Every structure is written in structure tokens, then in C-alpha cells.
């Protein structure tokens, strides 16, 4: 593959996932990833800070969620604003086109306790970002935190269903249904 071909970041991410699956995360170097992608180490570092970042990005999901909560209609309840964030995740992150990549990413994370810990920390950061965004909308702190935590539960359940769902149903559609189910479950408690 020529070095000048487009989509270097995607090529690096695909190469990394292939190597992580073949050799394991710990036995794969940045140089290995760059070589597999047909690129140099310098190009790798233009796109990613380290090999973990291939899996976790640079906080783009946090930014996406924060922007979606802020852009929710002014009259939206906290959970409706959270639903807007889940919709944005479905449009930008958990797309049908990325399902295979996301499934391979998840397999790598599940095979490595260090990466599982990083994923858990990233999810906590996402909850905090959502709660902060809700508070900036004027939602009281406790309500914002509860809505953000419920959003995380909904996102987790929706992700499980979406990643295992062979149909064309989108993450956003699944997340909206899960939110309805979670609200109904909470009413019973």
C-alpha cells in the first residue's frame, strides 16, 4: 500500500486491530502498526498519541455528547437531552458502517484487563461530561448526575443490543427504545 494513499488514520486503526487480534495488544508496537498500514512511525504519531489512542480516541465522544446535550431543544427534559446525545452517538460513532470495526475493538478490549480499565475510566468521563453539559443547561446537579448515569446505562444496554443485532436497526433507534424500557423499569421500582 502506498504511503500517499488517503485515510491514513483509518488504515492505522485497521492495522492496529488486526495486529492486536493476531499478536495481542502487549505484543504489538507502534512500528508494527505503521508498517502493517504501509506508513511510517511519524505518520502514526500525527494521528495518535500512542497505541491505546487507536482504541480510545481523544475525547471526541465526550465532545459529541456535550454538543448534543447543549443543542437539545430548550424545553427538553434532562432525559430528552440525554436522548439527543444518544442519537448523536448513533449518527457519528455507532454507525452500521463502523459495526465491524467496533466489534473488533471490543474483542481487543475484552481480552486485556488494562484496556478494560481504560474503557471503564473513559465511560466515567463520558458520564461526567454529560452531567456537566446538563448542568450548563440549568439542570440541578443531582438531577443532572442521575440523568447522565441513566444515559450511561441506556448507552451500555443499547450498545450490547446493537453490536449483537444483525438487522439494520440503528444504535439511535435501539437506544431510544432502551430509554423507554429503563424509564418504565424505574417507574416500577
Give per-residue pLDDT as tens, 27-74.
999 999 999 999 999 999 999 999 988 888 766 888 999 999 999 999
Instruction: Look at residue 54 in the predicted model and tell me its pLDDT.
Output: 87
Tell me whether domains 8-54 and 59-188 share a fold: no
Helices (H), 24-140: 30-37, 41-47, 51-56, 60-71, 78-92, 99-110, 113-136
d(CA 56, CA 60): 9
- pTM beyond 0.85, yes or no: no
Give φ, ψ of 26 to 5 degrees. -65, -25
User: How do the domains of the chain map onto residue ranges?
Assistant: 8-54, 59-188
Pick the more confident residue, 146 or 56.
Answer: 146
Q: Which of 3-7, 116-120, 143-147 shows the lowest mean pLDDT across its residues?
A: 3-7
Average pLDDT, the chain: 90
Mean pLDDT for the stretch of residues 134-159: 96
Q: Is 59-188 a CATH 1.10.287.3510 domain? A: no
d(CA 182, CA 176): 10
Q: Are 163 and 103 in contact (CB under 8 A)?
A: yes
Instruction: Look at residue 142 in the predicted model and tell me its pLDDT.
Output: 97
Instruction: Look at residue 188 in the predicted model and tell me its pLDDT.
Output: 77
The fold of the 8-54 domain, in CATH, is Arc Repressor Mutant, subunit A (1.10.10)
d(CA 91, CA 86): 9
Q: Are 88 and 65 in contact (CB under 8 A)?
A: yes
Instruction: Look at residue 58 in the predicted model and tell me its pLDDT.
Output: 65
Q: Which of 94, 72, 54, 42 is nearest to 147 (CA)?
A: 72
Amino acid at each position: 500500500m502506498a504511503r500517499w494513499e488517503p485515510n491514513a488514520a483509518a488504515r492505522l486503526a485497521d492495522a492496529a486491530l488486526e495486529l492486536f487480534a493476531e499478536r495481542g495488544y502487549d505484543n504489538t508496537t507502534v512500528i508494527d502498526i505503521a508498517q502493517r498500514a504501509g506508513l511510517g512511525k511519524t505518520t502514526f504519531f500525527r494521528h495518535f498519541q500512542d497505541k491505546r489512542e487507536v482504541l480510545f480516541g481523544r475525547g471526541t465522544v465526550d465532545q459529541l455528547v456535550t454538543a448534543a446535550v447543549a443543542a437539545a431543544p430548550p424545553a427538553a427534559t434532562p432525559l430528552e437531552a440525554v436522548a439527543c446525545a444518544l442519537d448523536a452517538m448513533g449518527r457519528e460513532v455507532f454507525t452500521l458502517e463502523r459495526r465491524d470495526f467496533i466489534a473488533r475493538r471490543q474483542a481487543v478490549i475484552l481480552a486485556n484487563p488494562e484496556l478494560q480499565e481504560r474503557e471503564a475510566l473513559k465511560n466515567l468521563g463520558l458520564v461526567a461530561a454529560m452531567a456537566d453539559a446538563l448542568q450548563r443547561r440549568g439542570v440541578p446537579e443531582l438531577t443532572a448526575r442521575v440523568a447522565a448515569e441513566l444515559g450511561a446505562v441506556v448507552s451500555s444496554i443499547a450498545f450490547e443490543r446493537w453490536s449483537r443485532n444483525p438487522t439494520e436497526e440503528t444504535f439511535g433507534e435501539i437506544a431510544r427504545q432502551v430509554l423507554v424500557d429503563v424509564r418504565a423499569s424505574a417507574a416500577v421500582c
